[in-house]
């Protein structure tokens, strides 16, 4: 168990580095990942299995306290979820049109925007010294609402670019999100104390799954990523950053306190990019999964940076001191 705890600490500490290394590995050795991508487990792709595993672990971590905030603070949760399913989908549509993205990438960006908040937002909110209970409440509600809202919004905003089967998307979300979450909650209910004892080790599962999904998505899109990389990365970054800014602004408008504004900012800005990758498979064109694959990296980097800024570990004074120090060293060398 000590070894697994150390592995969990290592993966958590160097997660961003591992994501970047996985991208490099998938670009350098794409055939290995493409071959892996053809593997089926009980008839399901590894991406689907990985997503289901992530959602199952999410269910394992949920308990009655996580749902209490929904009942005790419905206004805050409603504002957060409303922002989630309005700001991000329409911002994705606006950026796709403004940057004139190819139809496949436009669909992928909109799909990313219509997905619920990811579990990473809860961790980032904790690091940012934000309202973790509110973050978990918003993630839970937006995830449970996703089977209806994600297909409907994707159909409404991206239907002009590609044919969208709302029913198939709804079934996919139920299969890889809702069922695993409720299974995880049932296991937590039955073995609560035992689950709590291994909670730290459980973190290994979603991290490994995200890294696997990352490699499986990047490898078949190697050339597309090289050719469309600049504009795509710009689109994903702007989508993410505008989400942070507008989420915080909505919190200010709603007169929330500082911890709530941090939670709202992070929750709105960070999507469940893994889910978007899995849902993109129904479009048959691998390019549709590319925005979500890029977002898996961008969200982790920008989310970590924002959390550090919110917590006070990074500030403009921090950078100013670094610049001043570098200038002093330069003057001394002269």
pLDDT digits (tens, 9 = 90+) for 46-82: 888 888 888 888 788 777 776 788 888 889 999 999 9
**Which pLDDT belongs to residue 238?**
95
**Which pLDDT belongs to residue 1?**
66
* Other CB atoms within 10 A of residue 206 CB: 22
109-154 tens-digit pLDDT: 999 999 988 777 877 887 788 888 888 888 888 988 988 999 899 8
For residue 95, is pLDDT > 80? Answer: yes
For residue 318, is pLDDT > 50? Answer: no
| Rg, C-alpha atoms of the chain | 20
Which tokens is 52 given? 């289901």
Give residues with Cβ within 8 angstroms of 3, minimum separation 6. none
243-301 tens-digit pLDDT: 999 999 999 999 999 999 999 999 999 988 878 877 887 776 767 888 888 887 788 78
């Amino acid at each position: 168990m000590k070894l697994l705890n150390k592995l969990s600490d290592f993966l958590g500490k160097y997660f961003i580095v591992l994501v970047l290394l996985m991208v490099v590995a998938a670009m350098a050795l794409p055939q290995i990942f493409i071959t892996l991508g053809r593997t089926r487990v009980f008839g399901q792709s590894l991406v689907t299995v990985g997503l289901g595993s992530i959602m199952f672990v999410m269910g394992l971590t949920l308990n009655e306290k996580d749902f209490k905030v929904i009942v005790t603070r419905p206004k805050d949760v409603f504002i957060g979820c409303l922002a989630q399913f309005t700001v991000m989908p329409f911002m994705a549509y606006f950026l796709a049109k403004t940057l004139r993205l190819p139809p496949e990438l436009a669909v992928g960006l909109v799909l990313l925007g219509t997905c619920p908040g990811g579990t990473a937002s809860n961790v980032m909110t904790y690091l940012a010294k934000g309202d973790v209970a509110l973050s978990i409440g918003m993630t839970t509600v937006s995830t449970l609402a996703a089977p209806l809202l994600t297909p409907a919004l994707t159909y409404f905003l991206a239907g002009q670019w590609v044919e969208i089967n709302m029913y198939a998307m709804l079934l996919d979300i139920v299969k890889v999100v809702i069922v695993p979450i409720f299974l995880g909650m049932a296991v937590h209910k039955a073995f609560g104390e035992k689950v709590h004892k291994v909670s730290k080790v459980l973190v290994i599962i979603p991290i490994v799954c995200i890294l696997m999904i990352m490699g499986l998505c990047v490898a078949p899109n190697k050339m597309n990523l090289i050719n469309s990389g600049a504009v795509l990365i710009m689109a994903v970054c702007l989508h993410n950053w505008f989400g942070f800014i507008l989420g915080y602004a909505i919190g200010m408008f709603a007169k929330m306190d500082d911890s709530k504004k941090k939670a709202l900012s992070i929750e709105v800005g960070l999507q469940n990019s893994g889910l978007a990758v899995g849902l993109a498979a129904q479009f048959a064109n691998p390019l549709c999964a590319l925005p979500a694959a890029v977002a898996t990296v961008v969200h982790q980097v920008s989310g970590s940076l924002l959390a550090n800024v919110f917590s006070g570990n990074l500030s403009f004074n921090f950078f100013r001191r670094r610049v001043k120090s570098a200038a002093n060293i330069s003057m001394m060398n002269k």
